[in-house]
């Protein structure tokens, strides 16, 4: 995959040269036809004779042909050399391929798990997980996928990944100071937040204002296994950062924060009023705290968090490419994918 990336970088300069040649050739043709017009018509001649006389002007013909050929070559080179990236799983909740194709210089496609494990690629393909479950799966079962010429980043074991993605397990993490307080049935303070241990795009996250709502949402599930009850962090701003992590070290980050109308909100049900780009200070305390959470972890991971009394409170981790990419700039998204591919193996 690193060779593909290097080839892509080289092809950029080749394509730029071809584009320059295309512009020069077509510019030469345009100048000769418009600025320095020639009398191509023959006295008493018809249209066929006029066209024949134009074609007889060799410099114009040659420059036009060169312009067309260089433009076609540019398109073919850029298409052929772009690294191929596979996304899994495809789902009906969000479809990132259109955005990724628009904002990055790579080729994307979906593949089923049977294709990933049963069909070998002729050349390396990058593989990006789109769900927490698949991120865990790759850590435990990635050998069969790698043998088919797919390259990706993942943790050494699914247990490491699950400890961050599963909300019940994360709630028991030793770094309790940086997590919202978790309640039992006897000490709940309302309003609070109920979270299913396994959720996707806030589908399993609910604001709870009273005991009746709590019973209705919890149903017969097991507390601290299938769901948790956490304090509601009261603040109208929420941060989101997408990381590339290599053996516990943050090697890339891009992120933003959203401001909402209310101080207790759940995306995407509540209304956002503003958004701004945001990056963690690599020398700051929060950056170091994240690396403590990421100890031993490798791969893509996204985090949503808020600030309470000046201290970070982590709401969730998602070991995958997250839907927050819609908020990233073209440059940030391109650099994110590029850094991920550079570290894939």
Question: Which pLDDT tens digit goes with each residue over 307-330?
Answer: 999 999 999 999 999 999 999 999
Rounded average pLDDT over 199-205: 81
Q: Please tell me the pTM assigned to this model.
A: 0.79
Looking at the structure, do residues 201 and 225 belong to the same domain, yes or no?
Answer: yes
* 223 secondary structure, DSSP code: B
11-20, 160-169, 187-196 — which is least confidently predicted?
11-20
Rounded average pLDDT over 170-191: 96
Looking at the structure, do residues 52 and 89 belong to the same domain, yes or no?
Answer: no
Alpha-carbon gap, residue 92 to 75, rounded angstroms: 32
Residue 340 · residue 332 · CB < 8 Å: no
Rounded average pLDDT over 231-240: 97
On whether residue 343 sits in a domain, the answer given is: no
Q: By C-alpha distance, which of 187, 138, 191 is closest to 162?
A: 138
Alpha-carbon gap, residue 293 to 299, rounded angstroms: 13
Looking at the structure, do residues 59 and 117 belong to the same domain, yes or no?
Answer: no
How many domains does one find in the chain? Answer: 3
pLDDT tens-digit readout, 84-123: 899 999 988 788 999 999 998 888 999 999 999 999 988 8
pLDDT tens-digit readout, 145-179: 999 999 999 999 999 999 999 999 999 999 999 99
Alpha-carbon gap, residue 170 to 293, rounded angstroms: 10
3-state helix, strand, coil in the chain (%, to 5): 40, 25, 35
Alpha-carbon gap, residue 280 to 255, rounded angstroms: 8
Looking at the structure, do residues 49 and 90 belong to the same domain, yes or no?
Answer: no
Alpha-carbon gap, residue 312 to 328, rounded angstroms: 22
Looking at the structure, do residues 25 and 46 belong to the same domain, yes or no?
Answer: yes
The yes-or-no verdict on residue 183 having pLDDT over 50 is: yes
On whether residue 160 sits in a domain, the answer given is: no
Looking at the structure, do residues 56 and 88 belong to the same domain, yes or no?
Answer: no
On whether residue 45 sits in a domain, the answer given is: yes
Alpha-carbon gap, residue 30 to 205, rounded angstroms: 62
Task: Measure Cα distances from 314 to 1, 235, 309 in Å.
Answer: 33, 13, 14
Task: Describe the strand order of the beta sheet including 84-88 as a list of residue ranges.
Answer: 107-110, 84-88, 125-129, 150-151
Alpha-carbon gap, residue 219 to 153, rounded angstroms: 38
Rounded average pLDDT over 75-82: 51
Could you say which of 231, 253, 268 is where a domain stops?
231
Looking at the structure, do residues 16 and 77 belong to the same domain, yes or no?
Answer: yes
Residue 19: how many other CB atoms lie within 10 Å: 13
The yes-or-no verdict on residue 261 having pLDDT over 80 is: yes
Looking at the structure, do residues 6 and 77 belong to the same domain, yes or no?
Answer: yes
On whether residue 186 sits in a domain, the answer given is: yes
Could you say which of 119, 154, 189 is where a domain stops?
154
On whether residue 126 sits in a domain, the answer given is: yes
On whether residue 265 sits in a domain, the answer given is: no
Domain housing 220? 181-231
Rounded average pLDDT over 15-34: 65
Looking at the structure, do residues 76 and 91 belong to the same domain, yes or no?
Answer: no
pLDDT of amino acid 36: 54
Could you say which of 118, 136, 154 is where a domain stops?
154
Residue 136 · residue 160 · CB < 8 Å: no
The yes-or-no verdict on residue 6 having pLDDT over 50 is: no
Q: Which residue has the tokens 């170091």?
A: 288
Convert 49-61 to b/e letters by CB count within 10 Å (16 or more is b): eeeeeeeeeeebe
Looking at the structure, do residues 72 and 101 belong to the same domain, yes or no?
Answer: no
Looking at the structure, do residues 61 and 34 belong to the same domain, yes or no?
Answer: yes
pLDDT of amino acid 302: 97
On whether residue 51 sits in a domain, the answer given is: yes
pLDDT of amino acid 5: 46
Give φ, ψ of 263 to 5 degrees.
Answer: -90, -15
Q: By C-alpha distance, which of 9, 300, 276, 274 is closest to 138?
A: 300
Looking at the structure, do residues 74 and 8 belong to the same domain, yes or no?
Answer: yes
pLDDT of amino acid 71: 65
On whether residue 260 sits in a domain, the answer given is: no
pLDDT above 90: percentage of residues in the chain:
67
Residue 293 banded pLDDT, cuts 50, 70, 90: very high
């Amino acid at each position: 995959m690193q060779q593909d990336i290097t080839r892509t970088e080289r092809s950029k300069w080749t394509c730029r040269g071809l584009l320059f040649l295309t512009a020069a050739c077509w510019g030469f043709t345009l100048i000769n036809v418009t600025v320095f017009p020639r009398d191509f018509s023959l006295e008493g001649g018809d249209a066929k004779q006029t066209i024949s006389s134009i074609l007889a002007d060799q410099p114009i013909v040659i420059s036009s042909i060169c312009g067309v050929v260089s433009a076609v070559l540019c398109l073919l080179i850029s298409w052929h050399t772009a690294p191929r990236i596979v996304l899994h799983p495809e789902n009906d909740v969000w479809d990132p391929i259109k955005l990724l194709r628009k904002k990055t210089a790579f080729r994307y496609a979906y593949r089923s798990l049977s294709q990933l494990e049963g069909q070998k690629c002729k050349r390396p393909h990058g593989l990006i997980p789109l769900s927490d479950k698949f991120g865990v799966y790759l850590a435990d079962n990635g050998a069969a996928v790698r043998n088919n010429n797919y390259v990706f980043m993942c943790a050494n074991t699914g247990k490491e990944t699950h400890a961050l993605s599963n909300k019940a397990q994360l709630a028991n993490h030793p770094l309790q100071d940086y997590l919202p307080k978790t309640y039992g049935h006897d000490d709940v303070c309302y309003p609070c937040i109920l979270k299913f241990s396994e959720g996707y795009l806030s589908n399993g996250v609910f604001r709870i204002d009273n005991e009746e709502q709590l019973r209705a949402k919890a149903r017969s599930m097991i507390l601290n296994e299938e769901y948790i009850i956490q304090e509601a962090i009261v603040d109208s701003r929420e941060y989101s950062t997408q990381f590339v992590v290599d053996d516990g070290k943050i090697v890339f980050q891009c992120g933003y924060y959203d401001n909402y109308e209310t101080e207790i909100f759940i995306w995407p049900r509540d209304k956002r009023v503003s958004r701004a780009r945001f990056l963690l200070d690599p020398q700051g305390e929060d950056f170091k705290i994240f690396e403590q959470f990421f100890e031993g972890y490798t791969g893509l991971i996204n985090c949503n968090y808020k600030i309470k009394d000046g201290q970070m409170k982590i709401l969730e981790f998602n070991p995958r490419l997250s839907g927050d990419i819609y908020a990233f700039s073209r440059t940030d998204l391109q650099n994110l994918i590029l850094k991920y591919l550079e570290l894939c193996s």
